[in-house]
Structure 1
């Protein structure tokens, strides 16, 4: 097993925290606009940074490894979250439970069926399948250029499919854009020695300014914030520039600051955090913060204060769930869920 890179684990930790902040109702719109510029592309990029097909003898072994590491956790995590919501958070809905509807949520996983926040895993699985064939067979530059052009074109096609209300199973329309960022992660890891020259302190403000300035320009021109789930990209060129610069800034930040073990620890458990934060932890954390904000109005002067406290509570709540199930087969017999998929 290759040695984990500390600043990549910390970047994963930040990525999941940004996802949590983006799902908090108290977070002001301006804050969400900025973090949505790059936080999901960052997740796909980091998945690509740790992605490799070299250890697999054939596609079958690759497929089943990814299936066990991504698809099985998707189903089991959704079942776990659903049961917690049904019997603990909303027990009054037990008698109205619709098994057929729930089965559709799990199997179809399209935008017509609510299935919590785990759409990322479906898209990740399908994108990594695509990446396998790209890396396996697109060996020369002409083929690689052809793949790049094809993916960029398919991003437009995916947008048009969504805008035409073609809600594809497992969100296939998002696979091209996810594949682009995964392959960028693969490419960066391959040329890491050369890339690290640009991961220094002097480039941090440059990357940050580019990401925010270009992203806000995209927002101004399009009239809406970037949101991949809803195919809200705006100007494609501005989107890619802003997202890549945001990824660059994030990686640079954690490359230049001292390693923090707690941040690295969060980065190694992003799957569980991702699965439970919105449908379980935030439900409870936001209720508590709302009550505190109503009582202590002098402290909770704006949405950022409420969002900051909710974020802290959410991280603590996710960590409590992790610790409760530490050493057990969480959930439902799958030991160390998703761990193989996050190893370098």
Structure 2
């Protein structure tokens, strides 16, 4: 495996661990804000990085089909699984009050609206629709403009959008408003693809670690100033001008760290299975909480009582993702790429890089 594939696997693996940890209950707010500052921008960046010249030669209809298979089918599958879990459990959760009066069919609207507000059966599914929208817009735009033109265009639009965005604005379907911001990172990743060989050749492992620590130190500093951010809810912090700075510092800090360490089987497995870990870990968190409350009589607040529970939730979800992935790949192979090799190669979404 070449060095460039190795670092992409490592970045994806660390990224999905940060996603799970970031959602783990009881996490320190500063740590959470630090993670949220760049973990989702990271995945859009990687998706742009994996948009190959081969895929760019596809027709728009071919690329649409490719992304539907890569993102649309898993999205519908995990929504359906989440909905089946939500039906008997939503009135039992600590947040049951907000579901009072909601008929059983109401969440079905969410699968068609496709944004975080409507996907309350499993809110993380917003990423699937947003990535689908983002990648399709960029793919079409790339047919007409150079990668540098799109880098400047999409980052300029996204920067202006975050500065003027108001929480009172209505949310748009299929993550279109999220995509306005995500396109900046996607275009940056695709532009970086053109220069990654130069970076890999010029940056030694000994220099990469100090570079990573230097960049991450600024992430920590700027996060203190900017506070809580969340791309899903369109929250860009106290000083919106810092949002993109923190995101790019975090992305490249992780990049330098990833090229300085060796790949291993754990990184490879995590990278390959992000598409499963991403939507199932919140369901696992809910199951963990239910078992603790019903079987052991623990109060719902136990989850926030100690950092031990925070780490235990995250580690347990990651470990249980292994048997979950075996089950899903065996019994639902058509959902997760077990069908015959695709005509157009692997998608640049959550699937394994390469």
- What range describes the TM-score normalised by the shorter chain of this pair? 0.7 to 0.9
Distance 2:267 2:250 in 1: 19
Distance 1:140 1:272 in 2: 31
1:44–1:182 Cα contact (<8 Å) kept: yes
Instruction: Label 1:102 to 1:54 Cα distance change in 2 as closer, same or farther (>3 A).
Output: same
Residue 22 in structure 1 maps to residue 15 in structure 2: no
The equivalent position to 1:181 in structure 2, one of 156, 163, 185, is 185
1:18–1:35 Cα contact (<8 Å) kept: yes
Shift, 1:153, TM fit = 2.8
State the SS of the aligned residue for 2:136. helix
Instruction: Label 1:144 to 1:187 Cα distance change in 2 as closer, same or farther (>3 A).
Output: closer
Distance 1:3 1:328 in 2: 33
The equivalent position to 2:131 in structure 1, one of 118, 121, 124, is 124
Aligned residue in 2 for 1:66 = 67
Distance 1:267 1:45 in 2: 15
Aligned residue in 2 for 1:205 = 213
Aligned residue in 1 for 2:36 = 36
Residue 318 in structure 1 maps to residue 326 in structure 2: no
Mapping of residues 1-344 of structure 1, within 5 Å? 5-52=5-52, 54-55=54-55, 56-86=57-87, 98-113=103-118, 114-116=120-122, 117-139=124-146, 145-156=152-163, 159-160=165-166, 163-196=167-200, 197-198=202-203, 200-219=208-227, 225-234=228-237, 235-278=239-282, 280-287=283-290, 303-330=306-333, 333-336=334-337, 340=347, 341=349, 342=351, 343-344=353-354
Distance 1:242 1:186 in 2: 19
1:293–1:306 Cα contact (<8 Å) kept: no
240-249 or 75-84, larger mean C-alpha shift: 75-84
1:110–1:170 Cα contact (<8 Å) kept: yes
Structure 2 unaligned regions, length at least 5: 340-345
Shift, 1:265, TM fit = 0.7
TM-score for both structures, normalised by structure 1: 0.83
Shift, 1:149, TM fit = 2.5
24-33 or 189-198, larger mean C-alpha shift: 189-198
Q: Deviations over 1:245-275 (max 9, x none)?
A: 1111112222112212112211111011111
Distance 2:116 2:153 in 1: 30
Equivalent pairs counted in the alignment come to 326
Q: Deviations over 1:160-202 (max 9, x none)?
A: 3xx2241211221111111111111111121002233357122
Distance 1:293 1:255 in 2: 46
Distance 2:261 2:148 in 1: 36
TM-score for both structures, normalised by structure 2: 0.81
199-208 or 140-149, larger mean C-alpha shift: 140-149
Instruction: Label 1:293 to 1:137 Cα distance change in 2 as closer, same or farther (>3 A).
Output: farther
1:13–1:270 Cα contact (<8 Å) kept: yes
Shift, 1:72, TM fit = 2.1
Distance 1:97 1:79 in 2: 18
State the SS of the aligned residue for 1:257. coil
Shift, 1:15, TM fit = 1.1
1:34–1:212 Cα contact (<8 Å) kept: yes
**Please, what is the CA RMSD of the aligned residues?**
3.2
State the SS of the aligned residue for 1:101. coil
Shift, 1:211, TM fit = 1.4
Distance 2:19 2:147 in 1: 37
Structure 1 unaligned regions, length at least 5: 220-224
1:289–1:306 Cα contact (<8 Å) kept: no
Distance 1:147 1:42 in 2: 16
Distance 2:60 2:183 in 1: 18
